[in-house]
Amino acid sequence: MALALGDFRGFIFWEATRELREACGIEITARDADPIKSIVSSLLLRAQSEIEPFVRVVVVRLQTQNDAFAKLVLEVNTQYPGDVGVLAAPFPMNLVTLSKGEAVYIGADDAHAYLSGDIIECMAASDNVVNAAFVPPEDRDSPYDPPLAEFTALHTSLDPHYNEEQLQPAPRPTTGIVLKGEVHITTAADKAGIYLKAGGVILVAAAQKFQLHVARGPTEIFWSTVIV
């Protein structure tokens, strides 16, 4: 799950395009149950020496156009020149835009590529991230698919007028990160507590009630915990 902290853009979910199918030389038939997989696999399995010339041709052609899609592809190529992701992201995927406080859920095995903006990303602890593009070829990964547990994300916003909050116990540990301000966190067992500034993180034990007090506000904190 990606929760936007401001204006955000990213490529999420698949959408096949005729142009990409033709460019890859792939013939999709009605019997093909997963045409997107065929298209993207064809791209990702090709050598970088094959990809770079094709990206150059696409970029040169789009430089003569002034529509939003052309600008998007050129922007991606500026960030990652000649990368396979220049083809594997803008063409077969949807561009998603979010404003602050909006979020998008990305299911298991769903490809995604973040383009710009800051987010809080929550995911189960695992090694299931597969870097297939926008990284050097030698750093690309092989798939790993462990079981995932459900989780939830919470947002706490405090200021001098509303300067404290009490969070109820969660059945599993809770992780928090301070994005703005400074907060004093205490528990019944630890009245002295801990002070955290922006960028600070904390792990709260399961079944533990804790209190938040503004030390220097306004203060924003994001939390992630398992609720099942």
Per residue in 104-131, pLDDT (tens digit) is 888 777 778 888 998 888 776 555 555 5
Cβ neighbours for 70, distance < 8 A, ≥ 6 positions apart: 62, 63
Indicate the SS3 state at residue 130.
coil
> Among 3-17, 24-38, 186-200, whose mean pLDDT is lowest?
24-38
- pLDDT at residue 144 tops 50: no
- pLDDT at residue 204 tops 70: yes
Give the highest mean pLDDT range of 33-47, 140-154, 192-206. Answer: 192-206
Cβ neighbours for 33, distance < 8 A, ≥ 6 positions apart: none
Number of H helices, E strands in the chain: 5, 12
> Among 143-147, 184-188, 223-227, whose mean pLDDT is lowest?
143-147
d(C-alpha 132, C-alpha 85), whole Å: 8
Per residue in 51-106, pLDDT (tens digit) is 899 899 989 989 988 888 888 899 999 988 999 888 888 877 888 899 988 888 88
Confidence of residue 211 (pLDDT cuts 50, 70, 90): very high
Strands of the 2-4 sheet, one edge to the other: 103-104, 2-4, 119-121
- pLDDT at residue 137 tops 70: no
What is the C-alpha end-to-end distance of the chain, expressed in Å? Answer: 17
